Amino acid sequence: MAERRKIDVSLEMDDIPVTPRQASPGAKDAAKAVAQASGFDRPTVPTEAPAPAPGALAAPIPAQSPTRASRQRITGRTEQFTVKLRPDTRELIYRLVDQLRLKTVADVMELAFERLEQDRQAGKVTPR
């Protein structure tokens, strides 16, 4: 088997000559001229809108549409609870949502926890 040749890699850059680039003589003046022609000659943003270019069409103002009520249900629930479930548990939860005609999965959980708490207080449930 042939031996691998070792490569000397160094991150030192002291041996690389650095020559600063010189700006072209008129670059600064040219940049100022372009900035002034474009309206960027002031350090602050102008407070009034610039005049439209000749021949430019103004954008149409959209008609005000009536405001609609939010379609989001107000449930009073603000906390998120993420949990991993077995597939059969997930199917049971969604089946109960459908059978009981509930609106959310949280409704099933709240009903189940209410019943669990009642059974626990009645002594029907013991800790594992």
For residue 7, the Cα-to-chain-centroid distance in whole angstroms is: 45
Per the confidence metrics, is the pTM higher than 0.85? no
- 108 closest CA partner among 99, 117, 119: 99
Q: In this structure, are residues 90 and 82 in contact, taking their beta carbons and an 8 Å threshold? A: no
Does 126 have pLDDT greater than 80?
yes
pLDDT digits (tens, 9 = 90+) for 9-63: 777 777 777 788 887 888 888 888 888 888 877 666 656 777 777 777 767 777 6
| pLDDT class of 100 with cuts at 50, 70, 90 | very high
The whole-chain average pLDDT of the chain stands at 81
Between residues 70 and 117, the one the model is more confident about = 117
DSSP class of 1 = -
Please state, in angstroms and rounded to a whole number, the distance separating the CA atoms of residues 92 and 9. 62
Does 68 have pLDDT greater than 60?
no
